[in-house]
Amino acid sequence: MDSLAAAPGTGPATSPLPVIRKPRPAATFEGLPKDRTLVMGILNVTPDSFSDGGQYKDTDSAIAAGLRMFYSGADIIDVGGESTRPGAEEVTPEEEQRRILPVIRALVKAGALVSVDTTHTSTAAAAIEAGAAIINDVSGLTIEPDMPELVARTKVPYILTHRRGDAKTMDSLTDYDNVAADVVEELKGVRDKLYAAGVAPEQIIVDPGLGFAKNEAQNWELMRNIHQLQDLGHKVLVAASRKRFLGTLLSVAGKAAAPEERDAATAALTAISAAKGVWAVRVHDVGPSLDAVKVAARLRH
């Protein structure tokens, strides 16, 4: 059996690395299932992500968590090295790459389809070199102007997330006339920058950016009107997993539910998103969402 990392690759889920199966050819974007909504598992290799804080802060435990998600059926593993939660501190691209590149290489070697969650062009380029097949950029192109050129040149799918401002300012930028219509208009504006750089329409996946410059009511309003994003003609990704608006919904005696208490509500939103025909959901807890998308697919067909 080939080992993917320096650490021994045996043992149950509680040991540093799960059993590592034989390396397989990496999955391809074109090879993803087309008869149901896809499940993207979240792998934040950060010490400060809001919802799984500190869980995967070293390479081996991150690889182990990614492999567990892959073997439990995640279609895509989304690997990120910088927390994007409101108020988070920025990390340098060098530190971000130090965290994520070994993890990406190991998951690709195991046969997983990996997306890279980054706002930095240099990190996206290095991740593609390491085998990542999708760029997941939550910046909405507000940070690095050369990202469209990289997307055009590499021809990889690109997740275009709606947002306003940065991690420090977004919570104060929630004035919309009509949140769904405004998000669609603003996404169109950013999409035009991608088109101008030569990115093809089928490369673009749009994301409403739940929680990024949206208050609780606006997140629900966007979920209710997700068809308006679908009408843009691109694939749509919904990333609601463990977000603050779910914590607020599930509050008890005025106290928001903790992130790890939001997984059932996340799976409920996955089922609803899948019933609405979105392309993919991005979630922390892969198993229940995978069941939910199968239920929705069975009902639809």
The residues that touch ligand PMM, with contacts defined as CB under 6 A, are 42, 44, 49-51, 83-85, 117, 136, 138, 159, 161, 207, 209-210, 237, 239, 242, 282
CB of 163 to ligand PMM, least distance (A): 8
262 is catalytic: no
* Nearest distance, CB of residue 160 and ligand PMM, angstroms: 9
Cβ nearer to ligand PMM, comparing 89 with 254: 89
Q: Please name the helix (run of DSSP H) or strand (run of DSSP E) that holds residue 93, with its range, or none.
A: helix 93-109
Nearer to ligand PMM, 42 or 223 (CB): 42
Q: Which position among 109, 163, 243, 244 bears the catalytic label? A: 243
- Nearest residue (CB) to ligand PMM, 81 versus 209: 209
Strand, helix or coil for residue 79: strand
Beta bridge partner(s), residue 290: none
Cβ 11 to ligand PMM, closest distance in Å?
A: 27
Q: Between β-strands 76-80 and 114-117, what pairing exists: parallel, antiparallel or unpaired? A: parallel
Least distance from ligand PMM to the Cβ atom of residue 248, Å: 16
Contact 207, 237 (CB under 8 A): yes
User: How many whole angstroms separate alpha carbon 9 and alpha carbon 28?
Assistant: 25
How far apart CA 203 and CA 196 sit, in angstroms, is: 14
175-201 b/e (C-beta count within 10 Å ≥ 16 → b)? ebeebbeebbebbeebbeebeebebee
Planar angle of CA 109, 21, 9, nearest 5 degrees: 90
Closer by beta carbon to ligand PMM, 161 or else 225: 161
C-alpha–C-alpha distance, residues 89 and 41, integer Å: 23
Cα 72 from chain centre? 17
**Minimal CB distance to ligand PMM: which residue?**
239
99 assigned to active site:
no
Minimum CB separation from ligand PMM for residue 202, in Å?
18
- CB closer to ligand PMM out of 109 and 242: 242
Crossing angle of helices 179-196/216-224, nearest 10°? 70
Q: Catalytic residues, which ones?
A: 243, 282
